[in-house]
């Protein structure tokens, strides 16, 4: 199995920042946030062919229970989340609801289960990287996490932001893609690397740094959003076995239809009422 740092940078970064940002919520006023912006990654004018999956005996999505709000167990112990709703909507668009199943496994078991034929797809936050593409075929990206500056509400900058950030102390996770992007794009700031997200946001809350730079999440943003695939990757995608690109293409068709019909926007606003865009 590919190491966790390669296979799913989105997963651990998202969970760490979400936990840290919830602790930093005094900076934000989510109840007064602006109308959320729903990301649109699909061209409505592009016509993807509708796949014929009549010969497919079943479609089993593999996921986990520890990646909220994407996949988790709700108060009733029922598998829930953005990915769960998305998988069900995909099955509906493909006309194979009766053939669809969603199974939750421990993270470390997902790859083996797919390889052994115990599932047909993984929808759990695996990132499409050169390394992971050697063993998976991926759908197109359905969600990207932009980089954002995060600042105390009373001090948040508006665009244009570059001159306002000059000489400011900006915290970032050491060795991350965000650190490289910060140093390359915003060379006038004082970069303050942190090993742990919770330490970064504790210093932000205490005023020891002026801003943080990382995934756009639930806090008061300043500037951006900044989408940079060359630094941050292409986004979240559904993984299938490398020898099954036709199934990945079927997911592309379904995901585009879900976007065009507004279903994706409904899911996004349900699980991300404070948009990171």
Indicate the DSSP class of residue 85.
H
- Residue 171: inside a domain, yes or no? yes
**What CA–CA distances, in Å, run from 266 to 90, 131, 146, 243, 253?**
14, 33, 20, 33, 18
Cα angle 257-263-265, degrees, rounded to a multiple of 5: 115
- Higher pLDDT pick, 28 / 155: 155
CB atoms under 10 Å from CB of 5, counted, come to: 8
Structure confidence at residue 18 (pLDDT): 43
Which residues lie across from 143 on neighbouring strands?
236
117 and 48 within one domain: yes
Indicate whether this model's pTM tops 0.75: no
| 91-117 pLDDT, tens digit each | 999 999 999 999 999 999 999 999 999
237 and 125 within one domain: yes
Pair 225, 276: CB distance under 8 Å: yes
119 and 59 within one domain: yes
- Higher pLDDT pick, 124 / 147: 124
Element (H, E) at 79: strand 79-80
Which CATH number characterizes residue 190's domain?
A: 3.40.190.10
Counting the structural domains of the chain, the total is 2
Q: Which domain holds residue 220?
A: 147-231
Structure confidence at residue 236 (pLDDT): 86
140 and 43 within one domain: yes
- Residue 23: inside a domain, yes or no? no
265 and 130 within one domain: yes
50 and 91 within one domain: yes
Sequence-ordered list of residues with C-beta below 8 angstroms from that of 34, at least 6 positions apart, any chain: none
- Residue 239: inside a domain, yes or no? yes
């Amino acid at each position: 199995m590919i190491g966790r740092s390669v296979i799913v940078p989105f997963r651990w970064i998202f969970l760490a920042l979400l936990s840290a940002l919830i602790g930093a919520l005094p900076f934000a006023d989510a109840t007064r946030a602006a109308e959320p912006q729903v990301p649109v990654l699909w061209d409505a004018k592009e016509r993807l062919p509708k796949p014929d999956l009549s010969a497919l005996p079943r479609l089993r999505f593999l996921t986990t229970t520890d990646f909220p709000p994407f996949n988790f167990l709700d108060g009733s112990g029922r598998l829930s989340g953005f990915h769960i709703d998305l998988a069900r909507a995909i099955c509906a668009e493909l006309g194979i609801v009766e053939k669809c199943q969603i199974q939750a496994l421990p993270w470390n078991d997902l790859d083996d289960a797919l390889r052994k034929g115990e599932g047909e797809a993984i929808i759990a936050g695996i990132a499409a990287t050169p390394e992971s593409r050697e063993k998976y075929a991926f759908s197109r990206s359905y969600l990207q996490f932009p980089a954002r500056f995060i600042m105390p509400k009373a001090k948040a900058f508006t665009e244009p932001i570059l001159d306002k950030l000059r000489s400011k102390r900006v915290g970032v996770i050491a060795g991350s893609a965000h650190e490289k992007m910060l140093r390359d794009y915003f060379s006038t700031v004082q970069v303050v690397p942190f090993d742990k997200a919770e330490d970064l946001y504790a210093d932000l809350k205490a005023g020891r740094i002026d801003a943080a730079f990382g995934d756009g999440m639930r806090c008061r943003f300043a500037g951006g959003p900044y989408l940079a695939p060359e630094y941050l990757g292409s986004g979240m995608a559904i993984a299938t076995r490398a020898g099954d690109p036709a199934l990945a293409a079927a997911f592309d068709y379904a995901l585009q239809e879900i976007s065009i019909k507004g279903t994706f926007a409904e899911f996004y606003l349900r699980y991300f009422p404070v948009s990171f865009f």
